[in-house]
Structure 1
Amino acid sequence: MKGIRITLAARTVILYALIGGAWVLVSHRVVNAVVKDPLQMVTVQIYKDWFFILATGLLLFLYITRENKKRKAVEENFSSIFEHALEGIFQSTIEGRFITVNPAMAVLFGYGSAREMIESVQNIGRQIYVDPLMRENFIAELLKSGAVEKFENQNYRKDGTIFWTSMNARLVRDQNGAPLYIEGFITEITDSKLAKDALQASEDQYRRLVEHSPYAVAVHSQGLLVYLNQAGVKLVGADGANELYGTPIINFVHPDSRPEAMKRVQELALGKEAPPLEEKFIRKNGSIVDVEVSAYPFTYQNKPAVQVIIRDLTEQKAAEQAIRASEERFSKAFHASPIPTCITTMQGGRFIDANDAFLKLSKWQREDIIGRTAQELNIYKFDSREKFLERLLKRQITQGEEDKFVNSLGEEFDVASFYEMIDIGGQPCILSMFHDRTEQKQAQEAIRSNEEKLRAIVDHTQNIYYSHNADHILTYMSGQTKNILGYEANEALINWKNFLTDHPINQRGLLLTQKAIDTGEAQEPYVLELKAKDGHRVWVEVRETPIVRDGKTISIVGVLIDITERKEAEERMERQLAELTALHAVATASSQSNSEDEIIGNATQIIGGILYPDNCGVLMLNQEGAMLKPHKSYRGSSREMINEAFPVTKGITGKVAASGRPIRINDISTEPAYIKTTSGICSELCVPIRVNERVIGVLNAESRKFNAFDEEDERVMNTLAGTLGTAIERIRLFKAEQNGRKQAEHLRDTTLALTTTLEPKELFEIILDAIQKLLPYESASIELFNNGHIEIVAARGLPTENQYIGIRYPSFPEKWAEPEKMREPITVPDVRKDDRFKKLEGTEYIRGWMGIPMFTRDKVIGFINLDSSVVGFYTKEHAALAQTLGNQAAIAIENAFLYKSEQRRYQEAEKLRLAATTIASSLNLKEVLDILLRALKDVVPYDSASILLHEGEQVRIVAAHGLPDQDRALNELFPASNKLLQHILADNQPLIIADAQLDDRFEKWAASGFVRGWMGIPLVARGQVFGFITLDSITPGAFDSDKAFLAQSFAHQAATAIEKAQLFESLQKSNLELSQAYDTTLEGWGQALELKDKETQGHTLRVTALTLKLARRLGFSKEQLVQLRRGVLVHDIGKMGIPDSILQKKGSLTKKEWEEMRKHPQYAFNLLYPIAYLRPALDIPYCHHEWWDGSGYPRGLRETQIPLAARIFAVVDVWDALLYERPYRKAWTKKKIINYLREQAGIHFDPEIVDAFLKMVQEENKK
């Protein structure tokens, strides 16, 4: 539109210029010619100009009106086209917003109107483009080329569906070439795109099929090869298809085949297809290949062409040749075969051929049978040929099936028939083969007769004869099988392994049989235990021989000789020998064993190893005779069962122990009292073990077999139990005598050991050691009574010992007897069944337990606990021995505690003395208060404590330890009218509260809600209470009168120390004020000197600040800095002795004047030295004019002879003097001063001080 306005304006200007020019030229000439009077000429010229303006204005108006009508018509035409166009038309910004769209565009994108689409689409790249990257590519192309044609893209409709569009667009720019907007047309191409994609997919699929086709596919156009697939490349023998393109197709055809090939090419040019035809094909290497070629017209790359499909016939020809050769070989083999064979047609059954063997069997001539049927010749009999054919087709005829065969003489005999369907020259035929079984049947009949005779002989022997195959399946069993095993002969034809019992001896037989099968060699005879039909066991001796054919064992034949009676006799002898061996071994072991456990363990191993391996062992009665406990050597049971104790009222073993009589059970499932402890047990035998007619235990044996024990076993077990009882009695008597002697020795040693220490912890360890020597335990502990509770003070053997030390719990007099009445040890057989026992975490292993009371002077002070994982471990004998030790332990513990108490009193007194000394060592009130509370905790332990001092009607917390919010509590004020404080104030004595939470007078100051036990102690000086110490504990009743006495003693010394510290602080405060007055005076002196010496104002204060800053960096202490400051303030105090005429002289000083000036450091020394307060500050006033190289004054000191303070000040003084303007010179720049200081380092100044100063200045400059 802007282009139209520019064009109209240009035309208007041109028109105006032409009319104006013509008017001026023509009217000027006319006026000059007509009017001569100048005045009239002017008038005429004016009218002429006005006429020109009116005329041209009118003309321009008419022209512009006409042009506007034209433009409006064009715009209306464009608007109509825009509104009714079928294509989408749009204008959009480069950023991605639509400026305008036509209705077709809105419909295309699924919007109700153009306005809706413009308002809805805020980002074209994300809302319209499926792939925003395509939008970026589109914009890039527009910016590059200015226009884009046929830009295909996937777009979103309003409802989210995707469709394809094609777009033509251009970029509109302004006069400067800057992009204004994009305008263009959009057409939907979804259908054509899909059709194009489908076509492309189809072409791709066809190309893939062609590329992977096993046949060669070629395309030639105008007689030249333009395409060849991989199969074609392989057929030609080329390296690739490209090298063949452009080759005349006729070059690949053999000259003999070319005429026909050229004829087919001409027909193809007329649009006809060429049917398959065999040709000779020439390969690249010149070799000839037989091929089958078919061709048809084809369009390739939009040009007419011919597609040729070539099939290589090489393999087919070779196969056909092989078939012909095979047929010739078959014919020769057929006629030469010794097997009677003939061929008949499937339809009709007529003979086609028969070999010589068939003619010999049938006694027919070949010419007599060819073309005739078997029915016509009556050669072999069929019930129905149709049924025969049906069975043959369904393959229901068994190969080798027996048939009746009749020869030409009418002789009938049996044959084995074999039939196979074959194809000869495309005709279905039957190949029939026959085997004459006449001689075989005669031989079988002879064998059957011999077998019957042999079976009669075998069945009347006393042995079983058998045979089985390589898979151990029995194929024959003789008649004696019934008598020996109870099976009928045919009933026993199963896998012979099924007859075997689980006896270990049978494994050897299996291995030998398998070896005979594998090697084909007979093995040595072996013995098996078999299971008869009725379940009884049969022993047999086996002798067997392998039958081998073609190097492979096909069967085993053998004989089973019944040796049951002999084996039972041997077993009886072995059993008697085993019993005698066991009895002798147990007797020998009993005489040689040194302990009861050793006797029982050896006997169990012997009996179990020789007689009863399944389950065997000894169970012993406890001292009370109420519980049976398996000995640890028990065989065949779990560890849990061995650790279990069984009451004599339960189980077979309990019955035997209670009654004293043996019990033998052949089937434990019939016995209700049986307790199952081992799986698989079927029978049991249990006998009592006696000592002096008293049952002390039982000997038990169990078996996984039913009826495993008989009277003989019972007799042997009783004998063994008697031997065990006698041996145990001997050991017990010997052990009792030995234990008595050892116990006496241990008690004597323990008594001596208990007197070696008065330290409770060491004493507890000695007690536990002594007990372990006398009484075995797995874990032990010592408990002492403490304020109605029992506390564990020592332990050994517990899982993690330290976690039990210090545990306290009630003494439970309602469960146990009153402590004063507990005079004898307490034994608990099984703590799991006694609810009186306190079960602590980690002690689940404890079963047997004994508690030994320790009492002295008729008072029980605690217990010694002994633990065992064995039920009923501790006996009355243990208890009697333990009590003696318990009494001795009680006396030793009491003595130790008495000594400890006395020692504690001494330590408390010593702590009081040391605390007093420590408190007196400081005069700082805060330190004194802190030391006081720390020292007090050593004397009287507490959880938190505070010191409160009077301030009028209030008290202030001035020190505290252990408070929850200690920083906040310090310096907090509370009313002195508190009832507890008033009570202490009135009595002037400590006040104890057992439980502060139950006392109404207790106020919870400073977050003291946790406090239970509480004590307040007055601080008294010169008869007046000036403060209080309060001690807090989280434990009720934590403080008593003894602790109150100690705290009061401590408080007396603390009060003196506090008062002294307060007096010192007051004095120190006065000294500080005096010191500040001195320092103020010194500053005044410094300012006076500045005025006197005409120094730059502020020099003293500046050098003071800078000197102190450098000194801090060099590590000066706080006290050193104080003296340093004073020295700087009066560094030129000596100039007060120099006449003003010299100080204020403007010109140079004379030599004599310089000598006088250099005396001012000495004047300073003389002035300040008598003042003790300023004597430590003399280094700077006296020595700051000394030089590092020794050329300074007043004393000519050098290097480190010069005090450090003076060396520091010398550098700072020169820096400030040069940095500021003086009456006699201008100020220097910092750079010049720094260079000067570096030059004078090692001459005037200490080099290290110069380096430190310049580094400090550099850091300040950076800041």
Structure 2
Amino acid sequence: MDCNLKWQSLYQIANRLVSQYDLQEIFSMFNQEIIRIGQYDLCAVYMYEGEKLVLKDRKGTQQRQIPENHTIHFGESVLDEVIHEKRTLLLKEITDQPSLLGIDQLAILNLFAAPIIIHEQSYGVVMIGSSKETAFLPDEIQFLTSIVQSLTIAVNHSIQFRHLMIQNKISSLVASHRNLTEIYPQLVNELKNLVQFDGLLITIPHPYREEEIICYPLYLNHQLLVLKKSFLPAKGSATKKLLESNSYMLDNQLNGSIHYYEESFFCNVCFQSVLRLPLTLHNKPVGAIHLYAEDCHHFNQTQVKQLNNLAVQLSPLIEHVIRYNFEEQKRKAKKMVKYIGEHLLRDRDIEEILRISSKVMERYLELDHVFFFIMNDEELTLKMINHQTYEMPPFPLTDHSPLITSFIQNKTLTFHSIADLGEVHSNLKQLQVQSAAIIPLMDAIERRVNGILLVADKKNRNRFTQKSCEINFQLLSQLGTYINRKIKQKELERSNLAIVKALTAALDKKDSETEGHSERVVAYSMAIADALHLSEGERTKLRWGALLHDIGKIGIPDAILLKPGKLTKEEWEIMKKHPEIGFDMIKGIEFLEGATDVVLYHHERIDGKGYPMGLKGNDIPLAARIFAIADAFDAITSERPYKRALPVEHAIEVIKECSGSQFCPSCVNGFLTIPLEILYEIKDSGSQNNQSSKPFTKLYI
């Protein structure tokens, strides 16, 4: 072709190449034009991938001599010089030396090769071959060098456009999702479109534990990994070094060795190259990306620059996703606290509350073991409470274990890299864990410690620190206050119970025929309360009311109360006033206010035919409806001077027959679920003729 025509066609070719965005189209168009203009026998384009050149396109009469997807490894061809020295290469009379190109049976005499260089970084090489002896004269080489430069511009333009599209896609992906679990498969695939790698890891500094980093291994062995965060020590990690320097780290010759903790995730794979990029926002480190490759010198400076730009763009988005995930964890913790708080408001038994709290904390805080230990002032021991099936004897305060030390000194203790909970207390040695923490449960107002919390993790050897315990468990300070309140409440109840028992003892002395009746009806009432799943507050009201139900009889004249025969109509009217007398006696006593329902209404009937108010149905307080069954059952099964005791089975039938008339049906249904052995135990243990029997009321009062 005429020289002028060649340079004119160069302008046209350059415009056509630059107008293309698809790399494969650019390579194909370039090779076609080279063959058309110069009538060469071969034109091939190889691109640089790691430690090898990979064929992208070839044209000419000799194209079939080069296999499709042909690769040339470094050291196999003189094309190495073109790549490493970044200069053109002209070889003459190479027919008998095919090994120079790493291609057998290539029938060309002369060869011209030129590098594709972008920003001083070799991206690939163009190889043009001819069987003509006069090929590649100086002006022809100048023309070919110019057209290769046009190819380089087009390739750079295409790569930049492609990378920009990928970056925008990644940014859009991360910006539109808050959960890393949802986006990481697409994130990995898009990153692989940007740069090839064999392993990928994202690390972030732990927001609460300065000595830890959180790791998300995402990709290994050409497949996505199940997203699961793990924890590593910050000291000795590449992440800590990376974030301190705020600059990328590139190692293209790992030789399979483990330099940092991060590599422990890929210990079964021999990686040769790793590129680490910081994720920073406003000069504050928010994380790091680690890319691994199985071959040496896999990552070049151009890729480093592109990925660094992407990291800068992604940093605020990744930080947003990470912050959202931690906010979600905080929301879970608050939800847990709210859930526990709702149960506290229901005034349940303290051990039930702690069992519920143990189960809830394991779920929301992802803990393997949660144990509460509560102080027993009488025995000077700590009792273990949890929702699982572990049974342990009380822990005496006289031993010198860390568990007792934490309680006595009001001090949070943490344990790292341990084999089992024997490090905490010898009684817990059978529980294998890797880390644990003991946190005192202190009343925020009185600053009094009444128990401790023991938490443990089986997988993470560095789960707990002083700072993380303060942040995570300060939300549970209400438990310490609740425990202290319940303990003081129990102490007050014991004192009040002694007063009430003194009153009932006085009544029993006055009316010896009903001696033991008050304690038995308390036990029956508590058994029904258990069957109906009453709250602790409702149980307390019922307990006091059952003990004091007949306290008004103290105001009944002895001539009527102790009369052996049948009462006259006038006498019976006086006797029927004992509920109101009892109510007047206790209504001004604060701790007995809950007992008034039973004292005043225990002779009401569900059909409205009772006394003193003639209430009907659910207008009768629940405690009084329950007690009415307990009172009647004890009266039927107890012996009196004027009647014999009837069998328990007969009393049950009477209660059933009176359901809906005298007694509340729902309360009767609860009563009928009580096992016979419980009813017999209460009846026999409280009989007048069995004074040496065990005090059954301790089970229910």
TM-score, normalised to structure 1, is 0.35
Equivalent of 1:1176, from 597, 615, 624?
597
How far apart are 1:972 and its partner, in Å? 1.4
Q: Distance in 2 between matches of 1:1202 and 1:808?
A: 63
Equivalent of 1:642, from 51, 69, 82?
69
Distance 1:895 1:766, change over 3 A: farther
Q: Residues 548-627 of structure 1: matches in 2 within 5 Å?
A: 593-601=20-28, 618-620=44-46, 622=48, 627=52
**Is 1:629 equivalent to 2:54 in the alignment?**
yes
Distance 1:1195 1:847, change over 3 A: closer
Q: Which amino acid aligns with 1:597?
A: Q
Q: Residues 719-868 of structure 1: matches in 2 within 5 Å?
A: 729-734=149-154, 736=156, 775-776=194-195, 781-784=201-204, 792-793=215-216, 795=218, 799-803=223-227, 805-806=229-230, 808=232, 823=247, 826=250, 828=252, 838=263, 850-853=275-278, 863-866=288-291
Equivalent of 2:304, from 859, 879, 891?
879
Q: Which amino acid aligns with 1:697?
A: V
Q: Distance in 2 between matches of 1:759 and 1:984?
A: 42
How far apart are 1:1137 and its partner, in Å? 8.3
Equivalent residues of 1:1124, 1:1177 under 8 A apart: yes
Q: Structure 1, residues 700-740: CA drift from partner, whole Å, max 9, x if none? A: 89xxxxxxx9659x979x99999997665434324546777
Q: Distance in 2 between matches of 1:1163 and 1:825?
A: 92
How far apart are 1:597 and its partner, in Å? 1.9
What is aligned with 2:125? 697
How far apart are 1:971 and its partner, in Å? 1.7
Q: Which amino acid aligns with 2:125?
A: G
Distance 1:733 1:1120, change over 3 A: same
Equivalent residues of 1:1199, 1:1246 under 8 A apart: no
**Is 1:973 equivalent to 2:393 in the alignment?**
no
Q: Distance in 2 between matches of 1:930 and 1:882?
A: 51
What is aligned with 2:495? 1070
Q: Distance in 1 between matches of 2:548 and 2:308?
A: 85
Equivalent residues of 1:746, 1:773 under 8 A apart: no
Q: Distance in 2 between matches of 1:1075 and 1:927?
A: 26
Q: Distance in 2 between matches of 1:1134 and 1:1024?
A: 45
Q: Structure 1, residues 547-587: CA drift from partner, whole Å, max 9, x if none? A: xxxxxxxxxxxxxxxxxxxxxxxxxxxxxxxxxxxxxxx99
What CA RMSD, in Å, does the superposition of the two structures yield over aligned residues?
7.9
Q: Which amino acid aligns with 1:646?
A: H
Q: Structure 1, residues 651-701: CA drift from partner, whole Å, max 9, x if none? A: 5877999853266658xxx9666858xxxx866548445479999535589
What 5-or-longer segments of structure 2 have no aligned partner?
A: 1-12, 36-40, 587-591, 681-701
Q: Residues 1104-1253 of structure 1: matches in 2 within 5 Å?
A: 1122=543, 1144=565, 1154=569, 1156=570, 1159=573, 1162-1172=576-586, 1175-1178=596-599, 1182-1183=603-604
Distance 1:775 1:1084, change over 3 A: same
For the residue of structure 1 that corresponds to 2:91, the secondary structure is coil
**Is 1:661 equivalent to 2:83 in the alignment?**
no
Greater share of residues in strand: 1
How far apart are 1:1067 and its partner, in Å? 1.0
Distance 1:982 1:1178, change over 3 A: closer
Q: Distance in 2 between matches of 1:948 and 1:1253?
A: 32
Distance 1:1089 1:1051, change over 3 A: closer
For the residue of structure 2 that corresponds to 1:660, the secondary structure is strand
Q: Distance in 1 between matches of 2:70 and 2:540?
A: 79
Equivalent residues of 1:782, 1:864 under 8 A apart: yes
Q: Which amino acid aligns with 1:967?
A: E
Q: Which amino acid aligns with 1:629?
A: V
Distance 1:598 1:871, change over 3 A: farther
Q: Residues 941-960 of structure 1: matches in 2 within 5 Å?
A: 956-959=381-384
Q: Distance in 1 between matches of 2:42 and 2:279?
A: 43
Equivalent residues of 2:273, 2:296 under 8 A apart: yes
What is aligned with 2:429? 1007
What 5-or-longer segments of structure 1 have no aligned partner?
A: 1-585, 609-614, 702-708, 1091-1097
Q: Distance in 1 between matches of 2:523 and 2:156?
A: 96
Q: Distance in 2 between matches of 1:923 and 1:1207?
A: 19
Q: Structure 1, residues 114-166: CA drift from partner, whole Å, max 9, x if none? A: xxxxxxxxxxxxxxxxxxxxxxxxxxxxxxxxxxxxxxxxxxxxxxxxxxxxx
Q: Structure 1, residues 820-864: CA drift from partner, whole Å, max 9, x if none? A: 678456374x98899989596599799986443557999988643
Q: Residues 294-443 of structure 1: matches in 2 within 5 Å?
A: none
Q: Distance in 2 between matches of 1:1194 and 1:656?
A: 112
How far apart are 1:646 and its partner, in Å? 1.7
Equivalent residues of 1:687, 1:721 under 8 A apart: no
For the residue of structure 1 that corresponds to 2:487, the secondary structure is helix
Q: Structure 1, residues 611-645: CA drift from partner, whole Å, max 9, x if none? A: xxxx9983425399x84322278987999x83844
Q: Structure 1, residues 7-44: CA drift from partner, whole Å, max 9, x if none? A: xxxxxxxxxxxxxxxxxxxxxxxxxxxxxxxxxxxxxx
Equivalent residues of 1:853, 1:864 under 8 A apart: yes
For the residue of structure 1 that corresponds to 2:391, the secondary structure is helix
Q: Distance in 2 between matches of 1:1236 and 1:927?
A: 31
Q: Which amino acid aligns with 2:25?
A: E
Equivalent residues of 2:248, 2:275 under 8 A apart: no
Equivalent residues of 2:114, 2:125 under 8 A apart: yes
Distance 1:1020 1:599, change over 3 A: closer
Distance 1:632 1:862, change over 3 A: farther
How far apart are 1:1075 and its partner, in Å? 3.9
Equivalent residues of 1:1019, 1:1028 under 8 A apart: yes
Q: Distance in 2 between matches of 1:1101 and 1:1071?
A: 16
Equivalent residues of 1:617, 1:633 under 8 A apart: yes
Q: Residues 490-569 of structure 1: matches in 2 within 5 Å?
A: none
Distance 1:1014 1:1085, change over 3 A: same
What is aligned with 2:696? none
Distance 1:719 1:974, change over 3 A: farther
Q: Distance in 2 between matches of 1:587 and 1:928?
A: 79
Q: Which amino acid aligns with 1:1177?
A: V
Q: Distance in 2 between matches of 1:646 and 1:665?
A: 21
Q: Distance in 1 between matches of 2:478 and 2:643?
A: 68
What is aligned with 2:695? none
How far apart are 1:1058 and its partner, in Å? 5.2
For the residue of structure 2 that corresponds to 1:631, the secondary structure is strand
For the residue of structure 2 that corresponds to 1:975, the secondary structure is coil
Q: Which amino acid aligns with 2:305?
A: A
Q: Distance in 1 between matches of 2:290 and 2:276?
A: 5
Q: Distance in 1 between matches of 2:327 and 2:404?
A: 33
Q: Distance in 2 between matches of 1:1009 and 1:1221?
A: 57
How far apart are 1:1007 and its partner, in Å? 2.3
Distance 1:1183 1:722, change over 3 A: same
Equivalent residues of 1:923, 1:1060 under 8 A apart: no
Q: What count of residue pairs does the alignment treat as equivalent?
A: 618
How far apart are 1:967 and its partner, in Å? 3.0
Distance 1:870 1:1107, change over 3 A: closer
Q: Residues 1088-1103 of structure 1: matches in 2 within 5 Å?
A: 1088=513
